[in-house]
Amino acid sequence: GAIRAKGIGRDALIHAGSSDALRFGLTPVYFDMMRIGTMLFENPSPEHVNYHWTTHILQTKTLPAGWCVDYDCRVALPHATKVGLLGHMPKADVTYLIRGRKVGKLLDHEHVVTLDLSAFPDVKPGEEVTLVLPDEYSPLDTSSTVAPVTLREARAVGSEASSTSTKTRRPAF
């Protein structure tokens, strides 16, 4: 209407409306096109952003107690632990979910992430992992009692385990 009457956008597609304009029926901003990116993620509302990605477990192993997870042996496992590898996600505060339950992260290396799969003995390579970016309003279930392992906690466990072990172990991966 008024924009075209002023000669603006005569040979262009105008797209001023977003997902919210479409959701809430703000017809004055419809023009030629709409930007509906957040609706593609089934975003129920701006207060409930639920962006997430999925990836897959690349490899699984059960490592013995005392095994070093990292190259400097700062993180040694306190007990036999099933672990899984997946491609690195360059963000420290990602929540990892398998079958809707939170999974603890043992190591975030430059190329891979090592997850603690102790609570999932039947997980095999190829199993889907959901990566959720932090969001206080996220409707995704992150209510599991399995807490992510912080670097400080991992180092504390590693110090205890390495002080009781006299054997040097090579890195897991």
Q: Where are the domains positioned within the chain?
A: 2-40, 52-164
Q: State the CATH architecture for 52-164.
A: Beta Barrel (2.40)
Residue scoring higher pLDDT (86 or 158): 86
pLDDT at 151: 41
Predicted confidence band of residue 8 (pLDDT cuts 50, 70, 90): confident
pLDDT of amino acid 16:
72
In SS3 terms, the chain reads as: CHHHHCCCCCCCCCCCEEHHHHHCCCHHHCCCCEECHHHHCCCCCHHHCCCEEEEECCEEEEECCCCECCCCCCCECCCCEEEEEEECCCCCCCEEEECCEEECEEEECCCEEEEECCCCCCCCCCCEEEEECCCCCCCCCCCCCCCCCCHHHHHHHHHHHHHHCCCCCCCCC
Q: What tens digit of pLDDT does each residue of 45-81 get? A: 555 555 677 899 999 999 999 998 887 888 789 999 9
- Residue 24 confidence class, pLDDT cut points 50, 70, 90: confident
pLDDT class of 126 with cuts at 50, 70, 90: very high
pLDDT in the model for residue 64: 94
Query: What is the reported pTM?
Result: 0.53
Lowest mean pLDDT among 38-42, 76-80, 118-122, 141-145: 141-145
Evaluate if residue 153 carries a pLDDT over 70. no
Query: Which one is predicted more confidently, 123 or 155?
Result: 123
